[in-house]
Amino acid sequence: MKALAIKTISAVIIMTGFGSSAYANPCDDPVKAKSLGAYCKPAKSRPTSQGMLPKLDKNWYQDALREAPDNIARAANVTELAKLSTRQQIRILEKGIYSANFIKDDDSLIAFSERLQNNLGATVPEHYQEDLADAYFAAERYQDAYKTYKAWFTPKSRFNKDSFRQMARVAEDAGDNALAADVLEKMLSQSKKRYGGHAKQADLYLDIIRLRAKLKDRQALDIHSAGLSDLMTKRFEKQPLSKARYFEEAVDFLRGSNFTDLALKLENQAVDPNVATLRNQAQKYEADCLAQSTSACMDLVDIYKGESGLESKRFEASQTACELGEMKGCYVEAIFHHYGAHTIKNEEKAHAKFAQACADGLGDACHGAAMIHLQGGPSPDIEKTRYFHTLGCEKKSSRSCYALANNFMRPKDTSVVPDPKKARKYYKKACKLGAQSACIAAKKR
């Protein structure tokens, strides 16, 4: 999504998108309303956006959606447009661009933008440049995407993560390794706050080192080699396989471009006596898992646990284990679907896998199913949440017991009467199952 620093209302609308499917109006979504801040609150005067949307209130989504077809149809009517003044044509095309972008009509967004630029000599509003580049990318017009991204990119640009990756790709495909590296460096500088994940940062370092090595940029390689080394030392000390993988790939890039001294520095840090043994084990497990050995697949799930640079392999192993009937594999697979890690986020599939493992006796899987019901949009299914938490606690999930205790202490469920005695009972059970916070809560009650 767009950064909040973009100040126009239309950009705010694009930035926040349509909201989750559970909310017709994003201002009714507590998460999105918080990000929109004052825009979702009544005010005496409201900001305007080049006359496109005079007032922003809680009905802006419905109003913009209702007006979109008319705005697009008017902008698409070339014959009628030609009868108007240049200023009027620009205004109508800008409204068409706004509406086309709002409903994700990429074809119209491209057509109106090109007519605005090529026929009228006007500039596409700045806050639509990224969307136009994204539309070109989706249409596989990579050269146009590259030109648009390049014109828009500045040190102050704030892209969404997909645009960053797309821009780097089209720049590299166009042979502009310097721009691709600049974009990824910008993404890296924002990654801690916006994109998170140590593995994602490490992947960015690898791509930047690869590109800067091609450019023979010694200064940048010094900086990013040191950055990768620092990240590995601080965040990957308990991930020997991931650490070795990142160091070795960086070494290959550096050595391939004749930066042998930098390669040697990283190579010396990559030495870990446990890696060879772990890799041999993983290779054996991978071969056996491919041969449909359930235990080998679960061994892979275990050996890659905590290895953030190898999570995709863990996901694949958990899928195979689940297909072979191992419920622990189904539970791990459900977590990946729930968070959208290395796969498309799919709560329905996650719930099915959690419920399957729960029925087989995995308490934490019951807890996972409960949380999906609890987080289910504007109307959480409290009854099903309580049902799965109860099952989870019976099957020794400390988290489910703790959740039940909290519900009896401070009920979110209107059908539950506060009961400190029951709460204390569940706190004690959660404590015995290893939840330290429950132990503290039990002593206070």
The residue with greater pLDDT, 82 or 50, is 82
**38 vs 315, which has greater pLDDT?**
315
| Residue, of 30 and 127, whose pLDDT is higher | 127
Q: Assess if residue 124 is contained within a domain.
A: yes
**What's the confidence (pLDDT) of residue 427?**
92
pLDDT in tens, 210-267: 999 999 999 999 999 999 999 999 999 899 999 999 999 999 999 999 999 999 999 9
Q: Among 109, 139, 169, where does a domain finish? A: 139
CA–CA separation, 408 vs 313, rounded Å?
Answer: 41
Intra-chain end-to-end CA distance of the chain, in Å: 44
Domain harbouring 431, CATH code: 1.25.40.10
Residue finishing a domain among 97, 121, 139: 139
What average pLDDT does this structure show over 327-333?
Answer: 97
At 56 the pLDDT is 45
- Report the residue count for the chain: 445
Burial group, residue 383, by CB count within 10 angstroms (0-12, 13-18, 19+): exposed
Cα 155 to Cα 374: distance, rounded to the nearest angstrom: 41
Average pLDDT over residues 407-426: 82
Whether 345 is in a domain gets the answer no
Select from 112, 139, 166 the last residue of a domain: 139
Give the residue from 102, 157, 154, 156 showing the smallest Cα distance to 131.
102
- Flag whether pLDDT at 5 surpasses 70: no
Reported as a pLDDT band with limits 50, 70 and 90, residue 38 is very low
Q: Contact, 127 vs 11, CB < 8 A?
A: yes
Q: Give percent above pLDDT 70 in the chain.
A: 82
pLDDT at site 307 = 93
Cα-based angle 316, 199, 16 (whole degrees, multiple of 5): 95
pLDDT given for residue 196 in this prediction:
54
Residues spanned by the domain of 420: 361-445
In a domain, 179, yes or no: no
Mean pLDDT of 44-64: 51
343-355 per-position pLDDT tens digit: 888 999 999 999 9
Residue 57 lies in a domain: yes
pTM confidence score: 0.70
Work out how many domains the chain is built from and give that number: 2
Q: In this structure, is residue 396 part of a structural domain?
A: yes
Model confidence at 96: pLDDT above 60: yes
pLDDT score for 202 = 93
Separation of alpha carbons 138 and 115, rounded Å: 19
Q: Percent of the chain having pLDDT more than 90?
A: 61
C-alpha to C-alpha distance for 28 and 32, rounded to whole angstroms: 8
Cα 92 to Cα 103: distance, rounded to the nearest angstrom: 17
431 domain-assigned: yes
Chain segment 372-387, per-residue pLDDT in tens:
988 865 567 888 988 9
Q: How confident is the model at residue 18 (pLDDT cuts 50, 70, 90)?
A: very low
Residue 192, pLDDT > 70, answer no
Q: How much is the pLDDT for 197?
A: 80
pLDDT recorded at residue 84: 94
3-state secondary structure the chain: CCCCCCCCHHHHHHHHCCCCCCCCCHHHCHHHHHHHHHHHCCCCCCCCCCCCCCCCCCCHHHHHHHHHHHHHHHHHCHHHHCCCCHHHHHHHHHHHHHHHHHCCCHHHHHHHHHHHHHCCCCCCCHHHHHHHHHHHHHCCCHHHHHHHHHHHCCCCCCCCHHHHHHHHHHHHHCCCHHHHHHHHHHHHHHHHHHHCCHHHHHHHHHHHHHHHHHCCCHHHHHHHHHHHHHHHHHHCCCCHHHHHHHHHHHHHHHHHCCCHHHHHHHHHHHCCHHHHHHHHHHHHHHHHHHCCCHHHHHHHHHHCCCCHHHHHHHHHHHHHHHHCCCHHHHHHHHHHHHHCCCCCCCHHHHHHHHHHHHHCCCHHHHHHHHHHHHCCCCCCCHHHHHHHHHHHHHCCCHHHHHHHHHHHHCCCCCCCCCCHHHHHHHHHHHHHCCCHHHHHHHHHC
In this predicted structure, what is the pLDDT of residue 299?
97
Contacting residues for 305 by C-beta, under 8 A, at least 6 apart: 314
269-294 confidence digits (pLDDT tens) = 877 888 999 999 999 999 999 999 99
**Mean of pLDDT values over 19-30:** 49
Structure confidence at residue 13 (pLDDT): 32
Cα dist from 334 to 269, 292, 363, 373, 393, whole Å: 36, 20, 14, 14, 19
**Where is mean pLDDT largest: 65-69, 82-86, 434-438?**
82-86
Average pLDDT over the chain, rounded to whole? Answer: 84
| Residue 103, in any domain of the structure | yes
Find which of 12-21, 193-202, 252-261, 412-421 is predicted with most confidence, using mean pLDDT.
Answer: 252-261
Q: How high is the pLDDT of residue 440?
A: 87
135, part of any domain: yes
